[in-house]
Structure 1
Amino acid sequence: MEEIFYSIDFPYTFKDGSMIINSDCMTVLPKIKDKSVDLIFADPPYNLGKDYGNDSDKWKNKNEYLSWCYAWVDECFRVLKDTGTVYIMNSTQNISYIDVYIREKYNVINNIVWYYDSSGVQSKHKFGSLYEPIIMANKSAKCKYTFNGEDIMVEAKTGAVRRLIDYRKTPPQPYNSKKIPGNVWEFARVRYRMSEYEKHPSQKPEALLERIIKASSNAGDIVLDPFSGTFTASVVARRLGRKSIGIELSEDYYRIGLRRVLGLSEDKESDN
């Protein structure tokens, strides 16, 4: 995997097709060669002041934050193959700006809603937020991209469950029992004491990443996560037979990656 980099001068550990990197993504991304990556999942800080232990979620104003977002978005599309796909998450406050930027320069395939129930305290003065938006995009509307619909089929809860017959077909036949999911996805949030739980303020569930990686990559493809956090994308990619590159600024979270992805002790020094 090292061959896709122009140079490697940052701390990283590599094992069996999985690379975890302890650095700023804007230091690493420019060193990746053009059109090298098959799938990118980007879940950056949202500029909401969450505690990642290093003040990495605070910008002076929205314009400064969005300029930073546009910079890494452009780098992601540069390293993406023409047949590749990018999934980008952000807050409801920011996603519309990023969506417009991508539509003007690249191509938005889908706008996805990740819906979850919340047992937390909700606002008493407005409707509480129970979802996070996801943009699915590629380089151009003319580019073909991987979409393995058969690998992510879900139960069809209408006619198939009730065993209804579609009489519009000749001869009449039962409705399909499986279907490709729509663009509203319901996955539980990662909670304390769940087997996949790590101490992180915005950990994403493995089930969410499994759907993305199954749908938009094939075995042996390279999956890149420039804001790895607890390295869930890398964990799932490894389990599904993909190669992965996970970039994380925090040394504490990098050490989680050593354990979760590579099965190494968290106190192990980088191999490089």
Structure 2
Amino acid sequence: MDLREFEFYENENSLVINGDALDVLKAIESNSIDLIFADPPYGIGKDFGNSSDFFNNSGEYFNWCKLWIDECMRILSKKGVMYFMSSTQYMPILDTYVDKKYYVINRIVWTYDSSGVQPKNKFGSNYEPILMITHDKNTKYKFYRENIMIEAKTGAQRKLIDYRKTPPQPYNTKKVPGNVWEFPRVRYRMEEYENHPTQKPELLLERIILSATKPGDIVLDPFSGSFTTSAVANRLGRKSIGIELNHEYFKIGLRRAGITKEYKGEILKKDRSRKTKNKSKQDHIDEINKEEGNVQLNMF
């Protein structure tokens, strides 16, 4: 891997790279990554501080997605899996593209409760789609189901007997999760919160990483953002590669990936603030910060 044209830091478990995902991916050896999780800009105008989510039209966005998807599949190992996310608007056409060229293992729905402002003339959006794909239908991809078993809430809890088995036995108490995942979104004031507009929860990444890798495997995130993928991968004993274009988020990665707590004389600390252009939300945040400040003053 030749990264000399990019800024990067690494240790024995983590590699964090500041650069454009497409450029960096081209520098990575083919068939070398065990798991890829990609949470790219959704093409709907989110502010990531570098205009990376602004495209002139949907065709431009689709063409860009095809490029990074193909590069990711090139570097994915022969038994590897890639999970990627997109907006509800654009996932259908991306699904069609990968379904023709690769193999879709699962279409997953991540659902959550949204306590924010809801539309008054249509149904609110409380989910995001995730595709789980591999090279082709004959790929013997890795799936460690024993790592992700959850409680079976039907027959096992009611102590029902499964008479289809010989001899009849109680229903299993554990099962593999279905393709609808319910995890709460990362909210302001949560312990894992970082100052990033589209941070994904650690529980979501934990399920993905545990299902597709074993300790020592390499997990890559080409659009690392808040670097949740790197943080969870390292906590679970996997090796991580995180790529990020925005330099401020890159510094989050240096900290969350466990590489360094200092960058060019700057102490890397978690930013507990939250930037938003929504005035009502900002007023609420300001009030929370004021209350927290009063509490701290009252302690002395």
TM-score of the aligned structures, taking structure 2 as reference length: 0.86
Unaligned stretches of 5+ residues in structure 2: 267-300
Which residue pairs with 1:147 in the alignment? 143
Amino acid at match of 1:91: S
> What SS does the aligned partner of 1:70 have?
helix
Q: Deviations over 1:218-239 (max 9, x none)?
A: 1111111000001000111101
> What SS does the aligned partner of 2:26 have?
helix
Contact 1:8 1:31 in 2 (8 A): no
Which residue pairs with 2:32 in the alignment? 36
Runs of 4+ in 1 over 4 A off after TM superposition: none
Query: Are 2:61 and 1:68 equivalent residues in the alignment?
Result: no
Q: Which structure's CA Rg is the greater one?
A: 2
Which residue pairs with 2:204 in the alignment? 208
Equivalent residue runs for 1:142-181 within 5 Å: 142-181=138-177
> What SS does the aligned partner of 1:78 have?
helix
Out of 178, 190, 210, the position equivalent to 1:182 is 178
> What SS does the aligned partner of 1:31 have?
coil
Amino acid at match of 1:189: R
Which residue pairs with 1:131 in the alignment? 127
Out of 11, 14, 21, the position equivalent to 2:17 is 21
Unaligned stretches of 5+ residues in structure 1: none
CA–CA distance in 1 between the matches of 2:9 and 2:69? 25
Change (3 A) 1:7 1:20: closer
Shifted more, 255-264 versus 36-45: the winner is 255-264
Q: Higher relative contact order at CA 8 Å, sep ≥6: structure 1 or structure 2?
A: 1
Amino acid at match of 1:159: G
Which residue pairs with 1:258 in the alignment? 254
Change (3 A) 1:158 1:236: same
Q: Percent identity?
A: 60
CA–CA distance in 2 between the matches of 1:198 and 1:268? 21
Q: C-alpha displacement at 1:16, in angstroms?
A: 2.2
> What SS does the aligned partner of 1:182 have?
coil
CA–CA distance in 2 between the matches of 1:143 and 1:8? 34
Which residue pairs with 2:89 in the alignment? 93
Amino acid at match of 1:125: N
Aligned residues: 266
Contact 1:256 1:266 in 2 (8 A): no
Q: C-alpha displacement at 1:15, in angstroms?
A: 1.2
TM-score of the aligned structures, taking structure 1 as reference length: 0.95
Amino acid at match of 1:73: I
Q: C-alpha displacement at 1:96, in angstroms?
A: 0.7
Amino acid at match of 2:84: I
Q: C-alpha displacement at 1:258, in angstroms?
A: 1.1
Out of 46, 53, 60, the position equivalent to 2:42 is 46
Out of 190, 195, 213, the position equivalent to 2:191 is 195
**CA RMSD, Structure 1 to Structure 2 (Å):** 1.4
Which residue pairs with 2:219 in the alignment? 223
> What SS does the aligned partner of 2:263 have?
coil
